[in-house]
Structure 1
Amino acid sequence: MRMVFCGRVNPITGSLDWIEEDENYDYHQEIARSSYADMLHDKDRNEKYYQGIRAAVKRVKERGDEAIVLDIGTGTGLLSMMAVTAGADYCYAIEVFKPMANAAEQIVKANGFGDKIKVINKHSTEVTVGPDGDMIKRANILITELFDTELIGEGALPSYEHAQHNLMQEHWEAVPHRATIYAQVVESHRLWSWNKLLPMQLDSGTIQPPPDMKSCPGAPSVCDVQLSQLKPDDFRPLSDILVVCRVDFSKQISSSTVSHIVNFTSLANGTAQVVLSWWDIDMDPEATIICSMKPSWLYPELYPVPWRDHWMQCVYFLPEETKVTQGEEVCLIAHQDDYCVWYNMTMPSAAHCHSAEIPACRCGAHIIWNRARFGELNDQSRMDKYKEALKKVLTPSSVCLCMSDGSLLPMLAHSVGASQVFTLESSSMAQQLMDKLLETNQLKETIHILQKSPDKITADDLGDRKVTALIGEPFFTTSLLPWHNLFFWYSRTALSEHLAKDCTVFPISASLNVLVVEFKDLWRIRSPCGNCEGFDVSIMDEMIKKSLDFRESQEAEPHPLWEYPCRALSDPTKLITFDFREKVPTEDIRAEGSLNLVRSGVCHGVVLWMAYELTEDISVSTGLLQVSDETGSCQWYPNRKQGVYFFSSLWNPGPTPTDSMSTVTYQLTFKPQLGDIRMSFIPKPEHSGSLNAPTDTICLH
């Protein structure tokens, strides 16, 4: 095994670390953290594909033809094995990602299909046909799973277009046979707050976004979410569910840009802001086998709703808000190129004159801030807490320095009375964005922007004044896991010589909190793949287990838990506190204890998050907000991701009721020099030998 050195920026310390890794490390991690397990456990998807493949093979055989299958993006080889089992004479399974192609080859051979399935490690556009080519002859059954949440975002259309021209016979069957894209126009303050910086109310007035941010069409990328987790009052429908377009995969596909015009009658008075979208695929020409991505609230009551994380639903933000009245005729235009979809609204008379130009950010905010960050900045109740806390610690004589990326705290600090305010911005683009915000709100001469790293700040930068209030949310764009924002602590330490002796540090401290949980569905993304529709795909488990031997794979994973329901099996517990009033210590900080399990259920893992003590009596949580006393269901802060560690028992399934497991013991070590938090969680059964799962040890970096 050849080892290589990889340079990585430590998000906590800000330093560049050189780490020795196996040369295939990234491949192992991509497989381990991909959605392969989720797809393999998607019973509805797999059953529908199997039914569609059997029907397609039958149609070809009934014509008296040999069934030759082309499977593009084979992944594990599952669909190819389905095809051969259904009676296909031969299958060409194409997989461009080499580690997955190797896995598919092993899985195919292990299941006894090595003589009928050829795995080709190429992009489909590079595959050749002929006596000396990759394929001996053209195929007459085209099977693909090239879809993403947006349907076409993985390049499905160019791949289809090329394959149909170059790799298929004159007439072919396709599985899936067709796809239908649906859309619904809605008004939604919650969703719109992910797209625009909205006016923020202060005691002294209102923080207004710059004009170019108001008119900016936003980021071109789709926002994919679990729409099923939206509450009924999170949006108001302004249209019926509309059929945007249908794509027939049994006919020649074009990847050229096209616009689909859909007229509708507005259902209510309101402001059109957002388009919700999803798709169905018909596995057969008669549309008797349908796999649907529609959200749960469109299913009949008590109907079992399939859960998927590899395919979700789409949220598209319209380039501008449009007022509509009930009964008004309106036109929705869906534009589609070879990789993405975007929407416009107009009057029916102007539909054919509308430009198909793809939206792109012109203001810079959508490049710097992600959707969740917009939501956090627009969270008025959260900002009110910061404002209330700042009132307690700032005075007109305060020399205030803000340490957070793209924060509104400098303006809050000024609004509550601080007359000297500085803010550090991490990049020139962030500086330009903040400059526009300050200019719009007539604060450019009052709040001073420093585009420097904390360790480069000089006395001249601060006008030879000592900082009397160092403030932060904290939030940094480089942070992925909740504790990565401890960069604030390291920055505070680097700035020590510029802080007054009695400097107020805000927040006072941060605490790392933990909760043992049972997930409703999220556990599926890390559960074993061993057997799927009768085929052994256990090599996937071996590859994922292998990846767990590597350092970084043992981290918790960031997930937005508002989208993934779970139940609390323990009480929320504060594990370790980081005191920002002091410098980062040189010695390790250790903590140990146990988490008592207070509810029955299946232990899938633990959730970790940070809470910040702004003042002695005001705190904010970036994780758990509330636990239901009756059911244990959890409410999570929606604008930050939480850290999730899945117990390794999921690799060896079998429900483990908590009545046989009284505690989960933990040990934590914060290593300041490395910027690491190392943890171990050990489930302790009430009676020896009653726990099926292995011990779980975690190293969080």
Structure 2
Amino acid sequence: MEATRACTKLQLLLMSEEEDPGEVQVEIQDQPSAQAQASDDYFHSYSDLSVHELMLRDQPRLTAYSDCIEKNAHLFQSKVVLDVGCGTGILSLFAARAGARKVYAVEASEMHKKAETLIKENGYSDTIEIIHDVVENVKLPEKVDVIISEWMGFYLLHESMLASVIDARERLLKEGGIVIPSTGKIYICPVAMEHFRKQHVDYWKAYHGFDFSSIGDEIMTAKMSTPFVEQISSSELLSRPQEFTNIDFNKVETAELVSLTGDFSFEVERTAQMAGFAFWFDCDFTLESSFPIILDTSPSSEPTHWKQTTVFLGVFADVQKGEQVEVKVTMQQDDMNPRHYSISIQS
């Protein structure tokens, strides 16, 4: 069986030698685009205030950063801080309030104007300096003690802003300085997506007394041809989640992020139909705090704007309790648009 479904930005390829769902390989690829245009579009998207409203209302996100800075205030007092991608400036304000001597807040989008206004309105203009540029172009009069940034995308690496943080770390951070957050892990788990199936398959089987399954099939096929970013219930998990990768942001190099691969064996915990695999992440903000400070985006945690990313197989495969599901997973940075990754799952 071989089928190709295309959409505006992503393409799903289902390939196998036989009709057996166990032999399905799913590959999600970004369509090629010019790097310069992709970069312009990326920064333009962050000029939209509604994007920042979504993040500002994300309490787990804000709590992780505020708790980290408050519980580690001694690491900020009289120190120099660099905020990479400051957005509205909220993290810079946290750092300044904790006693930072100087905060360099770098923002490439037009949101820098709003950040400057908010910083002035809150009385921190003498401490926080807004720099309107990409951090790769920034030169500072001094090295910084702390780099803080909210760079994480869906499944952690989408948008690839970590590369900008690494660039700043290598050029602008003092020896022995710290990067916040300090580490991050990506997790993977097979999922049933039963709620999704009820909404997009079963719903059409008895539509006002008629069978509209053929329309439902087309709708479902379209929805399953792209990654599904949505909050899912922990009841959808069919096995114990496993760690796909663990990244130390104080040490990782950009070359290590080009391609990430892992082999996994999941023991199915209940008989069901497997729809695909869900990805999520957590980040460690503990530093020297006396208790752990973890931003967790798993299905069992308080919802965040990152939700979870489900990669569909394109089929609902029958699995039995106790069965082993073995897959090879690869995340590959797109050549033309490195802000995106191709995700392939092969049994």
Q: Give TM-score scaled by structure 2 length.
A: 0.69
1:184 and 2:179 equivalent?
A: no
1:265 and 2:237 equivalent?
A: no
Whether the 8 Å CA contact 1:192–1:317 is kept in 2: the answer is: no
Whether the 8 Å CA contact 1:273–1:321 is kept in 2: the answer is: yes
1:226 and 2:231 equivalent?
A: yes
Q: Structure 1 residues 115 and 266 mapped into 2: Cα distance closer, same or farther (>3 Å)?
A: same
Whether the 8 Å CA contact 2:155–2:186 is kept in 1: the answer is: no
In structure 1, which of residues 74, 86, 95 is the aligned counterpart of residue 98 of structure 2?
A: 86
Q: Which whole-Å CA distance do the structure 2 matches of 1:324 and 1:311 have between them?
A: 28
Which residue number corresponds to residue 329 of structure 2? Answer: 334
> Which amino acid in the other structure matches residue 31 of structure 1?
D
Which residue number corresponds to residue 344 of structure 1? Answer: 345
In structure 2, which of residues 290, 296, 307 is the aligned counterpart of residue 292 of structure 1?
A: 296
Whether the 8 Å CA contact 1:181–1:246 is kept in 2: the answer is: yes
Q: Which whole-Å CA distance do the structure 2 matches of 1:126 and 1:117 have between them?
A: 19
Which residue number corresponds to residue 243 of structure 1? Answer: 243
1:72 and 2:101 equivalent?
A: no
Q: Structure 1 residues 157 and 336 mapped into 2: Cα distance closer, same or farther (>3 Å)?
A: farther
Whether the 8 Å CA contact 1:73–1:146 is kept in 2: the answer is: yes
RMSD: 3.9
Which residue number corresponds to residue 56 of structure 2? Answer: 40
Superposed counterparts of 1:346-495, under 5 Å? 346=347
Which piece of structure 1 moves more, 286-295 or 186-195? 186-195
Runs of at least 4 residues of structure 1 off by over 6 A?
193-196
> Which amino acid in the other structure matches residue 86 of structure 1?
A
Q: Structure 1 residues 168 and 267 mapped into 2: Cα distance closer, same or farther (>3 Å)?
A: same
CA drift of 1:238 comes to 2.4
Q: Structure 1 residues 289 and 258 mapped into 2: Cα distance closer, same or farther (>3 Å)?
A: same
Question: Structure with the greater relative contact order (CA < 8 A, sep ≥ 6): 1 or 2?
Answer: 2
Whether the 8 Å CA contact 2:76–2:95 is kept in 1: the answer is: no
Q: Which whole-Å CA distance do the structure 2 matches of 1:336 and 1:171 have between them?
A: 31
Q: Structure 1 residues 166 and 261 mapped into 2: Cα distance closer, same or farther (>3 Å)?
A: farther
Which residue number corresponds to residue 151 of structure 2? Answer: 146
Q: Structure 1 residues 104 and 195 mapped into 2: Cα distance closer, same or farther (>3 Å)?
A: same
Q: Structure 1 residues 171 and 320 mapped into 2: Cα distance closer, same or farther (>3 Å)?
A: farther
Q: Which whole-Å CA distance do the structure 2 matches of 1:92 and 1:281 have between them?
A: 23
Whether the 8 Å CA contact 2:181–2:284 is kept in 1: the answer is: yes
Which residue number corresponds to residue 126 of structure 2? Answer: 115
CA drift of 1:283 comes to 0.8
Q: Structure 1 residues 188 and 28 mapped into 2: Cα distance closer, same or farther (>3 Å)?
A: closer
CA drift of 1:37 comes to 2.6
Which residue number corresponds to residue 276 of structure 2? Answer: 274
SS of alignment partner, residue 240 of structure 2: coil
Q: Structure 1 residues 282 and 28 mapped into 2: Cα distance closer, same or farther (>3 Å)?
A: closer
Superposed counterparts of 1:547-696, under 5 Å? none
Q: Which whole-Å CA distance do the structure 2 matches of 1:336 and 1:217 have between them?
A: 21
CA drift of 1:56 comes to 5.0
Q: Which whole-Å CA distance do the structure 2 matches of 1:247 and 1:195 have between them?
A: 36
Q: Which whole-Å CA distance do the structure 2 matches of 1:337 and 1:283 have between them?
A: 27
> Which amino acid in the other structure matches residue 118 of structure 1?
E
1:312 and 2:307 equivalent?
A: yes
Whether the 8 Å CA contact 2:280–2:297 is kept in 1: the answer is: yes
CA drift of 1:208 comes to 11
> Which amino acid in the other structure matches residue 245 of structure 1?
T
CA drift of 1:30 comes to 5.7
Q: Structure 1 residues 319 and 171 mapped into 2: Cα distance closer, same or farther (>3 Å)?
A: farther
Whether the 8 Å CA contact 1:280–1:291 is kept in 2: the answer is: yes
Which residue number corresponds to residue 51 of structure 1? Answer: 67
* Gaps in structure 2 of 5+ consecutive residues: 1-43, 334-339
> Which amino acid in the other structure matches residue 104 of structure 2?
Y
Q: Structure 1 residues 284 and 125 mapped into 2: Cα distance closer, same or farther (>3 Å)?
A: same
1:256 and 2:258 equivalent?
A: yes
How many matched pairs? 290
Percent identity, aligned pairs only? 25
Q: Which whole-Å CA distance do the structure 2 matches of 1:31 and 1:344 have between them?
A: 34
1:169 and 2:169 equivalent?
A: no
Q: Which whole-Å CA distance do the structure 1 matches of 2:76 and 2:47 have between them?
A: 37
Which residue number corresponds to residue 124 of structure 1? Answer: 135
CA drift of 1:79 comes to 0.6
Whether the 8 Å CA contact 1:101–1:121 is kept in 2: the answer is: yes
CA deviations on 1:377-424 (whole Å, 9 max, x unpaired) are xxxxxxxxxxxxxxxxxxxxxxxxxxxxxxxxxxxxxxxxxxxxxxxx
Q: Structure 1 residues 182 and 81 mapped into 2: Cα distance closer, same or farther (>3 Å)?
A: same
Q: Structure 1 residues 29 and 88 mapped into 2: Cα distance closer, same or farther (>3 Å)?
A: closer
CA deviations on 1:513-550 (whole Å, 9 max, x unpaired) are xxxxxxxxxxxxxxxxxxxxxxxxxxxxxxxxxxxxxx
Whether the 8 Å CA contact 1:94–1:122 is kept in 2: the answer is: yes
CA drift of 1:86 comes to 1.5
Whether the 8 Å CA contact 2:47–2:109 is kept in 1: the answer is: no
CA deviations on 1:558-608 (whole Å, 9 max, x unpaired) are xxxxxxxxxxxxxxxxxxxxxxxxxxxxxxxxxxxxxxxxxxxxxxxxxxx
> Which amino acid in the other structure matches residue 288 of structure 1?
P
Q: Structure 1 residues 268 and 42 mapped into 2: Cα distance closer, same or farther (>3 Å)?
A: closer
1:136 and 2:141 equivalent?
A: yes
CA drift of 1:340 comes to 3.3
CA drift of 1:186 comes to 1.8
Q: Which whole-Å CA distance do the structure 2 matches of 1:219 and 1:159 have between them?
A: 30
> Which amino acid in the other structure matches residue 296 of structure 2?
S
Q: Which whole-Å CA distance do the structure 1 matches of 2:346 and 2:198 have between them?
A: 19
Q: Which whole-Å CA distance do the structure 2 matches of 1:74 and 1:256 have between them?
A: 25
CA deviations on 1:491-528 (whole Å, 9 max, x unpaired) are xxxxxxxxxxxxxxxxxxxxxxxxxxxxxxxxxxxxxx
Q: Structure 1 residues 246 and 280 mapped into 2: Cα distance closer, same or farther (>3 Å)?
A: same
SS of alignment partner, residue 311 of structure 1: coil
Q: Which whole-Å CA distance do the structure 1 matches of 2:128 and 2:61 have between them?
A: 22
Whether the 8 Å CA contact 2:80–2:103 is kept in 1: the answer is: yes
1:31 and 2:69 equivalent?
A: no
Q: Which whole-Å CA distance do the structure 1 matches of 2:46 and 2:243 have between them?
A: 38
CA drift of 1:192 comes to 5.7
Q: Structure 1 residues 318 and 140 mapped into 2: Cα distance closer, same or farther (>3 Å)?
A: farther
CA drift of 1:104 comes to 0.9
CA drift of 1:145 comes to 0.9
> Which amino acid in the other structure matches residue 289 of structure 1?
I
Q: Which whole-Å CA distance do the structure 2 matches of 1:193 and 1:42 have between them?
A: 28
CA drift of 1:70 comes to 1.4
